[in-house]
Amino acid sequence: MSREIPPTGKRSGPGSSPELRASHADRDRVVDVLRVAAGDGRLTAAELDERLEAALSARTVGELVALTTDLPPVSASGVATVAEVKDVLRIDQRFSPVTRVGRWVVPRRLELAVEWCEVTLDFTQAVITQDTLRIDMDMQGETLTLVTKPGVVVDTDGLRLEHSKIKIRQDPDPGAPTTLRVELVGRKIHGRVVVRPPRRTFGQWLLRKPLSLPAGD
């Protein structure tokens, strides 16, 4: 039977004493776990900041384990998911739609070089492991759509528009702590940039209920 891996990535056993000195890799793994938990809505921004500070200053494995005892255990597959985070993801495409939905892993930086492509980036269930995503844009034609959730904010101050428009709709909970800041820089020629929350279901529209996300997102 396979055993779960503690957030530090070490297996339980005689060689994993809580008093064992923590390495830089141990701290980095716990930082990734905490950021994923915040992206899933399990930690507030204040809790994340407090635990990150404690993780970076931790001296022993026991101190690190204490920071994640109330979070789901990290399995080997969970560690692999964190490892898939890319520093830079480049999308270079023409005439075909680009879509990122579901539990896609948000890179640290995205280079978007597309012509006449509809582009949709849906952050509602995305795996977020850092607090900032920079999108370097060179986009001509069609619409860039960013689907956000409470805690995801979009900054368009660095974006140059040429014959284009921006439409931004606030999330249902504008007071939520920021978990991801998306910075759009570069240029958009022709077309639109749309920032919006998830669409209501037909039942939510009929009942006029506030839009809620699935548990853990």
> Over the stretch 82-102, which tens digit does the pLDDT of each residue have?
445 678 999 999 999 999 988
93, 196: one domain: yes
pLDDT on residue 161? 96
- What are the residues whose beta carbons fall under 8 Å from the beta carbon of 140, sequence distance 6 or more? 114, 115, 116, 188, 189, 190, 191
pLDDT on residue 35? 79
79, 109: one domain: no
44, 103: one domain: no
User: What is the value of pTM for the model shown?
Assistant: 0.59
93, 71: one domain: no
CA angle at 60 for the pair 56 and 61, rounded to the nearest 5°: 95
Where does residue 74 rank: exposed (0-12), middle (13-18), buried (19+ CB within 10 A)? Answer: buried
The arithmetic mean of pLDDT across residues 136-164, rounded, is: 95
Q: Is 95 within the bounds of a domain?
A: yes
The span from the CA of 54 to the CA of 75, in Å, is 23
Q: Is 98 within the bounds of a domain?
A: yes
109, 167: one domain: yes
79, amino acid identity:
V
Give the highest mean pLDDT range of 64-73, 96-105, 115-124, 126-135.
115-124
Query: 92-120: buried (b, 16+ CB within 10 Å) or exposed (e) per residue?
Result: eeeeeebebeeeebbbebbbbbbeebebe
The arithmetic mean of pLDDT across residues 67-95, rounded, is: 71
99, 193: one domain: yes
**Domain assignment of residue 39, given as a range:** 24-83
